A and B are shown apart, each in its own frame.
Chain A
Amino acid sequence: MARFHPFHAAAVLAVLGVAVFPLYWMFVTSLTPSDQLFADRPQLLPSLAQLPTYIEAWSGTSLRHWLFNSIIVAVGTTALSIVLAILPAYALSRMDFRGKLLFGFALFLTQMLPEAMLVVPLYDIFTKLSLLNTLLGLILANAAFTVPVVTWILKGAIDAVPYEIEEAARIDGCSRIGIVLAVVVPLIAPTLAAAAVIAFFHGWNEYVFAQTFISDDQWRTASVGLASFIGELSTPVHTVMAVGFIYTVPAVVFYLFVQRYVVAGMTSGGVKG
């Protein structure tokens, strides 16, 4: 453990300030009386008397509903991306097959297309498949973007798993798929967690598809719901800030839940000394 050092502490606080201040500012703004919102001297402390704003935001809007939809979409995108990415990542890392380079490159290509370009064709396809106004449709569309990224991230991690461990498992009687599930997946758990964070936040924040494919208020996600407050004539700053603050909470919770797996040195001790 590094010893406590005033300089380190100051540096950590500075970084923390940059990262946390916008969140804090959002929180403070949500709890600032309207007449002081545009005051010359900004208010740095929340006035707790405004707390009912949150109650109003929570029960007076469809926020609960939107958040629930967003969680479904984000979790679904995460699960689907990881399930779909593990095997291609393993193949890219360990197997030799014709067109491997091309396959790897094609995965990159998908990242070069902007979402906005795909909206129209996807809309057409989703109409035919009755996927419009469904969360499944959103999950599929999001996964199309996260699977390639997750595949490449996992490939890198699998590359780092010592090959002997897989051979040992082969001799011990593991099938190929068994090796992937029983040996490789646990060993790349930290990277899986990191990839899960990426996929989750993609699903959580995604706006273009959610805005286009969902017209039924019942299936609206929080990112779209949040934007719907911004009106042409007036924007209820308090409510937007309160909803925005609540919107960040599940994402932070998910990250805190996952980040304990994002620890290095999972494979240490397996080979050599």
Chain B
Amino acid sequence: MSLKLNNVTKSFQDVKVIDGVDIEVGDNEFLVLLGPSGCGKSTILRMIAGLETVSGGSIHLGGRRVDELPPSERDMAFVFQSYALYPHMTVRRNIAFPLIMRQFRWWYHLPVVGGYFKRRIENSSDVREKVERTADMLALTKMLDRYPRTLSGGQRQRVALGRAMVRQPSAFLMDEPLSNLDAKLRTAMRAEITQLHRDVGGNFVYVTHDQIEAMTMGTRIALLRDGKLQQFGTPREIYERPANTYVARFIGTPPMNLIEAVVEGWAIRIGAALLPVPESAELPAGNGTRVWLGVRPGTLKLKAGAAPADSASLTGRVALIEHIGAESLVSVALDGVQTAHDDEGRHGDKVMAALPGYTDLGLGDVVTVTCDLSDFSLFAHDSGRRVGGSRAAKH
């Protein structure tokens, strides 16, 4: 079922935390809401779920407007960061709870009598079968009669997933479900959730601040900052054609280098170097336009020794070397060139290059930096918006 957010806004008192967000995904999409903490991604998810009211705009699921419905009528399941299991219920009851609630009558609240009827629903063949099938998928069968407090973090997370799956909702909403797990388990659960999406289908909306999770799991990513949508697209689009310098620096580790440059004809000038641009690229109109040139660390090449004058390469000094096994990250301070490091306007002169294997370069070595302009982006110098770059294949 398609999920559509139409100009959604949210204000708490006078503070606007979500500012006119438009997102639309088709059936069976895995939408990731990505952004730093405080960007409003969880608020959006909670509005989709109905845990927060919408201040403006509308939310549609499968063509049906849902933003005014109570959470239980939206046909969505929610997985909380903290799991939010019912501690006083067994795993079986936790998973069966949404199904029990479907058949709930008010007098089930009565002690003893209610307990008897709840147990009867839980033991009915239909519910039993659903719970056991879910438990089987999540390898929880042996733990069905245990209480959450006796389970490990990963197992609790799977129970939370099971409670969501058992209802077969049209949409699964997950609020940083992996952030309480250790790194190894997180990688494993990441794959499990992707697998789950393939197996059970339906729309997934997944909130995370982890770009690796976003890139690996999402079929669409909505990148947010301060309640505003920065870019919405496939992981590849966001990686290859970032919409602005913020997206460019947020996605990718280490982040994209932003080097101050000037467009000159069909070439880009950085300090003394003039870099020719491939014909397929798009450049902003106007000779002498100041831009930020965005290049990924992997596209930079380093060579010992200074660059010859009037060449297409830059000269710099090695400022830092980090070996991380498969590659070496080398930070180079460039001569007479300015680079942007973050949006608060902090600037510097360093670029980061990712070199394969162990590099022989040493600290303080003079190096020649060559940019491969088959993959680059250009951003307006003032607004930071994308104004050109190597033309990435359309998907």
B83 at the interface (CB under 8 A from A): yes
Q: Which residues of B contact A170 (CB under 8 A)?
A: 50-51, 70-72
| Chain A nearest Cβ from B117, distance in angstroms | 12
What does the 1/0 interface line of B80-118 toward A look like (CB < 8 Å)? 111111111000000001100110100001000000000
A168 close to B (CB within 8 Å): yes
The answer on a CB contact under 8 Å between B72 and A173 is yes
- Asked if B76 lies at the interface with its beta carbon under 8 angstroms from chain A, I say yes
CB-defined contacts of B70 to chain A, threshold 8 Å: 170
Decide: B87 and A273 in contact? CB cutoff 8 A: no
User: Which residues of B sit under 8 angstroms from A273, Cβ to Cβ?
Assistant: 83, 152-153, 156, 180
What is the chain A residue whose CB lies nearest that of B173? A171
Whether B156 contacts A167 by the Cβ 8 Å rule is: no
CA A273 – CA B388 in complex, angstroms? 47
Q: Is the CB of A173 within 8 A of B98?
A: yes
Judge whether B77 and A171 touch: CB under 8 Å.
Answer: yes
B246 CB–A CB distance under 8 Å: no
Does B163 make an interface contact (CB < 8 A)? yes
Give the chain A neighbours of B84 by CB distance below 8 A: 162, 164-165, 167-168, 270-271
Q: Are A173 and B104 in contact (CB under 8 A)?
A: yes
A164: chain B residues at CB < 8 Å are 80-82, 84
**CB < 8 Å neighbour of A172 from B51, B87, B151, B163:** B163
Q: How far is the CA of A39 from the CA of B231 in the complex (A)?
A: 94
Complex Cα spacing A272 to B51, Å: 20
> Which of B142-150, B282-290, B298-306, B372-380 has 4 or more CB atoms under 8 Å from chain A?
B142-150
Which of A28-36, A110-118, A175-183 contacts its partner?
A: A175-183
Selected interface stretch from A139-147, A229-237, A260-268: A260-268
Asked whether B85 lies within 8 Å of A269 as measured between CB atoms, the reply is yes
Question: Residues of A contacting B180 with CB < 8 Å?
Answer: 272-273
CB atoms of B101 and A173 under 8 A apart: yes
Q: Which of A162, A181, A269 has the most CB of B within 10 A?
A: A269
Residue on A nearest B49 in the bound complex, by CB: A171
A272 and B104: CB pair below 8 A? Answer: no
A183 and B86: CB pair below 8 A?
A: yes
